Amino acid sequence: MNEIVIVLIIAVLFIIISFFIGRAVGKRFMFEVMNHVLEKEKEKALNKSRAVIKGQLQEQFAPFSVDFPCSSTECNFQGKPIDFIGFKGLDNKYVEEVLFIEIKTGTSQLSQVQKSVKKAIEEKRVRFVEVRV
């Protein structure tokens, strides 16, 4: 009988010790996994931030590029929802064309709002409004 009690006590102690060892190992494993995930997320956030800053810089310098559809002095920066409004011919005191210009870099796409602006322009839902105060 004493031998059975001793075996049971040893078994219970083994289970308790195993539980605490498993818990400690599990915590350590989760800590390492979370650190790895955190590092990856930090890297993604930094890359996205760099891409946004790079895009904003390219937006600001775009009017000075050779491929820009009008002179840098003929356009006004808007930012949202369209980057520039250009007035082709403004330098010659006669506007031939009004341009809505959106600068995109890399694989970026038009937003839903930008797509709706493009559609409104294509469907000629554009007007000139004069407001006097």
21 pLDDT above the threshold of 80: yes
Please spell the DSSP secondary structure of 15-76, one letter per residue: HHHHHHHHHHHHHHHHHHHHHHHHHHHHHHHHHHHHHHHHHHHHHHHGGGSTT-SS-GGGEE
Helix/strand/coil for 93: coil
Taking the C-alpha atoms of residue 75 and residue 83, their distance in angstroms, rounded to an integer, is 10
Q: Decide: 31 and 40 in contact? Cβ < 8 Å.
A: no
Whether 14 and 36 share a structural domain = yes
Taking the C-alpha atoms of residue 71 and residue 67, their distance in angstroms, rounded to an integer, is 10
The pTM of this model reads 0.64
Whether 1 and 37 share a structural domain = yes
The mean pLDDT of the chain is: 91
Which pLDDT band, with edges at 50, 70 and 90, does 106 fall under?
Answer: confident
Whether 87 and 112 share a structural domain = yes
Whether 38 and 73 share a structural domain = no
1 pLDDT above the threshold of 80: no
Report the number of distinct structural domains present in the chain: 2
**Residue 87 sits in which domain range?**
68-122
Count the neighbouring beta carbons within 10 Å of the beta carbon of residue 5. Answer: 9
The string of pLDDT tens digits covering residues 22-75 is: 898 888 899 898 999 999 999 999 998 998 888 888 888 888 888 899 999 999
Whether 73 and 19 share a structural domain = no
Whether 89 and 104 share a structural domain = yes
- Nearest Cα to 102, choosing from 123, 118, 90? 118
Any domain includes 35: yes
